[in-house]
A and B are shown apart, each in its own frame.
Chain A
Amino acid sequence: DTGVSQNPRHKITKRGQNVTFRCDPISEHNRLYWYRQTLGQGPEFLTYFQNEAQLEKSRLLSDRFSAERPKGSFSTLEIQRTEQGDSAMYLCASSPEDRGVASVGGYGYTFGSGTRLTVV
């Protein structure tokens, strides 16, 4: 397993179009996260899955955004009716479930290379 994989690496779309991104986590990681990063800022949390269940969504995730993780494996993030403000780097991360003595997030998080979205 070579890590967290994201596709596509870059996406340019016209305003109003729908786009979908894919994330393949590390295979033994049951937790998957989506973050968004705008220029000059740190990544911001969007949503989190444990297996196929979406356990938390940020208020940043408007109703134009939807994320899925069918069968608890890969995940997709779809943006409908894109706006110029959606232009950002979309990052996916995964982590194993905390077990034993490891505290919350005790194994850390592994990020993918991201999908750069440009809405023109």
Chain B
Amino acid sequence: KQEVTQIPAALSVPEGENLVLNCSFTDSAIYNLQWFRQDPGKGLTSLLLIQSSQREQTSGRLNASLDKSSGRSTLYIAASQPGDSATYLCAVITGFQKLVFGTGTRLLVSP
């Protein structure tokens, strides 16, 4: 059974810091991996999708990497801002059209 773990569970940083969120999964036989952002009480907003043939994706201040063989992905956020405060979820895409999610990292960026 695929299990996804996100470390740390919570993170508090001052504005301007660069930070790394970690995601690990137990079964390397995934197709793709997607990072989402979730604001309190809201739905999920897609940040980055890394397809199985790719090793990283970039969007603005965000960079996500994927190492399938080691079962790891990282989300790098450069020059963090208070507006980045949210829960960040990673999800692996299995062969049965299912997303398997981690429990998320709650990020707080202080001004």
Contact = CB atoms under 8 A, between A and B. Distances in A.
Interface of A: 6, 31, 33, 35, 40-45, 48, 55-56, 89, 91, 93, 95, 102-114, 116
Given A42-B91, A48-B98, A103-B53, A109 B46 contact: yes
B87 to A, nearest CB: 9
B42 A109 contact: no
Interface residues of B, number: 29
A103 B31 contact: yes
Nearest to A108: B49
B36 A105 contact: no
B99 interface: yes
B52 A56 contact: no
Sorted from nearest, which 5 A-B pairs have the closest CB atoms? A42-B101, A105-B93, A113-B43, A108-B49, A111-B44
Contact of B44 (A45, A91, A95, A103): A91
Given A91-B43, A110-B46, A114-B42, A104 B99 contact: no
11 contacts: A43-B91, A55-B97, A91-B44, A103-B51, A103-B52, A103-B53, A104-B94, A105-B31, A111-B36, A113-B43, A114-B42
